[in-house]
Amino acid sequence: MSACEHTPLPWSPAALISGAAHTSPTGELRALSSSEAAHGSQVIPVVTANDIAAHAISIAPTPELPIAPCYELRPLETEAELYESYRLRYEVYGALGYLQCFNRSQLEVDAYDRTSIPFGAFDMHNGELIGTLRLITTEPQLDYDRLIENVIIECQDDELREQAAPPPKHVLPAIGSEEIERELAAFNRDHYIVHELSRFIVRPRHRYTHVSRALVQIAMAHAMLAGPAVFIAGCLPRHVRLYANYGFVKLPHTDLSRFESVGQMANTIVCRSDVLPGAMQTQVDAMLRAMTSGALEHTHELSRDSHARFRFRGSAPGTARCMDGTRS
């Protein structure tokens, strides 16, 4: 049976909704009760899109990690992994007061997930999902659409279904006005494919390991399989300089806009894949060469004290595959 076909999940959303102890899907998910936000950690997000949220920044002293961090970064591939990512998004949004839509399943999903390729950063020491990011494309991602539908079926949550129902309001959530559409067209003078980076979340205690940069790199490399690209996102004004390290600039001739899905005023930021900062360009190009050569993984150091292993699916945006390798 193809992994894209629906089979009952080995976990019970009903138990989670009713308040029973959080049992992790396939034994890999971590109880939310042990998470940073559940213990009252205060975080400030770097908003990365109309509906995005966060590269979470702790405003308290960051606790030292007990051992040198090692991460695995890859596209998410199963219903259980999507569930864990949506749960993390809901958890962080809830802690920040950013949630604009609520549901009893406590999953943060919207219509743009059906056209997105989601990525996760996992702590290799314990398997915990510590970060997530989605690459929103302008094409249906049919395999992910099926996985999302399976999660919704298992949750039996009408509010969740409505929040994830297509079609979305705009082709990309950050292109929310004629002004932004016009200025983006002027910026994208070479007519590159445009993608959006969104739902960018890293748990506070892992922020200073540069895993956030690694999430951006793997998403960019996947997008660039189809050729040069322009990336758009949203960003709180105080974090524009941070995103400059990844190659982003404020979209010229635009000001702050209100992003309704998170209730925040943010700048629209853009980036060309062919003019990234030096180290960023070197690492993304190395990853892209590994992907196009047929390699299944690539490694590089994130810092002197941390490193990452990147795993690839071998498919370009818009042609997501089932776990058994078949196309839908």
- The neighbouring-strand residues paired with 307 are 70, 301
Could you tell me which of 106, 89, 95, 86 has the C-alpha nearest to residue 44? 95
Per-residue pLDDT reduced to its tens digit, 156-182: 999 999 999 978 889 999 998 999 999
User: Domain boundaries in the chain?
Assistant: 13-311
Which SS3 state, helix, strand or coil, does residue 250 take? strand
d(C-alpha 49, C-alpha 200), whole Å: 9
Which SS3 state, helix, strand or coil, does residue 45 take? coil
Tell me if 173 sits within 8 A of 51, measured CB to CB: yes
264-272 and 297-303 beta bridge pairing? unpaired
* Confidence (pLDDT) at 12: 47
For domain 13-311, the CATH superfamily is Gcn5-related N-acetyltransferase (GNAT) (3.40.630.30)
Ordered mean pLDDT values, 10 residues apiece, the chain (328 residues): 43 44 38 34 38 38 62 96 96 86 95 96 95 96 96 97 90 94 97 96 85 96 96 92 95 90 86 96 96 94 88 53 34
Tell me if 157 sits within 8 A of 109, measured CB to CB: no
Name the average pLDDT for the chain: 80
Which SS3 state, helix, strand or coil, does residue 33 take? helix
Per-residue pLDDT reduced to its tens digit, 71-85: 999 999 999 999 999
d(C-alpha 82, C-alpha 26), whole Å: 12
